[in-house]
Structure 1
Amino acid sequence: MNVNKAIVMGNLTRDPETRTLPSGQTVTSFSLATNRFWTDKESGEKKKQAEYHNIIAWGRLGEISQQFLKKGSLVYVEGRLQTKNWQDPQGNKKTRTEIVTEMLQLGPRPGGTRMEQSEKEKPNEENPVSNEINVEEIPF
């Protein structure tokens, strides 16, 4: 059995960029930073180390990323690792490891606001919401 699964949650370091390939398929890419915190055993000093992850999202996941994410957005990403190898114009070998998104979950909006309920959905004093069941109203 083989497993190729990456799970990261962090903040975008740049706005997502979307490209359309000659085939008509769209791909969106962005970079995600995750932080590791620890205390140095010898000095007692608190330390922080950032890791940067290259993320790509195809099709609908890419469209959602482009529409709702921006630099600084918090996002949870699950996907598979993929490594690309190529030569630059000077003949140097290059390698890039990416996470190909299979699932993403958007973090809270800036300012911590949530969508407000519409007036129809809000319970009011005239029509309070009740979890009580009236047995006489059951038709069987």
Structure 2
Amino acid sequence: MINNVTLVGRMTRDAELRHTGNNTAVATFTLAVNRNRKNGNGEREADFINCVIWRQQAENLANWAKKGALIGITGAIQTRNYENQQGQRVYVTEVIADQFHILESRRAREEQGSSQGGNWHPGGSTQSEFASNSSSGYRSPFGDSNPMDISDDDLPF
């Protein structure tokens, strides 16, 4: 059986870090992941996926990744259920993340927030995210730097 999940999205809020009775760290967070296709109005929609991460990775996520951060996670889908106060069975599906990676620099994230008036909107990218001083319109998430000067003869293919 295979149960592997890889997601790239933006955190909709800061991770909520808690500790179990035996002091094991656990963080819950939600990722807004854009869908591949636009809806009938030409707008990009997003899915909001509940995620859980444990132990040192949970503490690292809570300390380093904040609301709006672009992160990648790997893990597995898990379904659990419980009975609520009304006696109804409630099913919860979430991603149990094994690891995460922050995919943009803090500087790029702060610049993006300021270019959008400090507001981040899940489900859609604005043109200002990609605007830059370069002629291609691409802005590296790793800051302003000169492109590499590599000739075609130096490429191995």
Question: What's the TM-score, normalizing by structure 1?
Answer: 0.72
Unaligned stretches of 5+ in structure 1? 116-140
Q: Over residues 17-71 of structure 1, what are the superposed CA-to-partner deviations in whole Å (9 max), with x where a residue is unaligned? A: 011111211101100010114356xx7x523221111111100110110000111
Give aligned pairs, total: 111
For 2:31 and 2:38, how far apart are their aligned partners in 1? 24
Change (3 A) 1:104 1:69: same
Secondary structure of 1:46's counterpart equals coil
Partner of 1:19: 18
**Which structure's CA Rg is the greater one?**
1
Q: Return the letter of the residue paired with 2:56.
A: R
- Deviation, structure 1 residue 8: 0.5
Runs of 4+ in 1 over 3 A off after TM superposition: none
Structure 2 unaligned spans of 5+: 109-140, 144-157
Question: Match for residue 107 of structure 1?
Answer: 103
**Matched residue type, 1:26:** A
Comparing both structures, which one devotes a greater share of its residues to strand? 1
Post-superposition CA distance 1:100-139 (Å, at most 9, x none): 1112111212432759xxxxxxxxxxxxxxxxxxxxxxxx
Query: Taking every aligned residue pair, what percent have the same amino acid on both sides?
Result: 26
Q: CA deviation at 1:90?
A: 1.1
Relative to structure 1, the CA distance from residue 28 to residue 37 in structure 2 (aligned partners, 3 Å threshold; closer, same or farther) is: same
Give me the CA root mean square deviation. Answer: 2.0
- Counterpart check, 1:53 vs 2:52: no
Amino acid paired to 1:61: Q
Structure number with higher helix proportion: 2
- Residue in structure 2 matched with residue 74 of structure 1 by the alignment: 70
The CA deviation at 1:74 is 0.5
Specify the alignment match of 1:29 in structure 2: 28
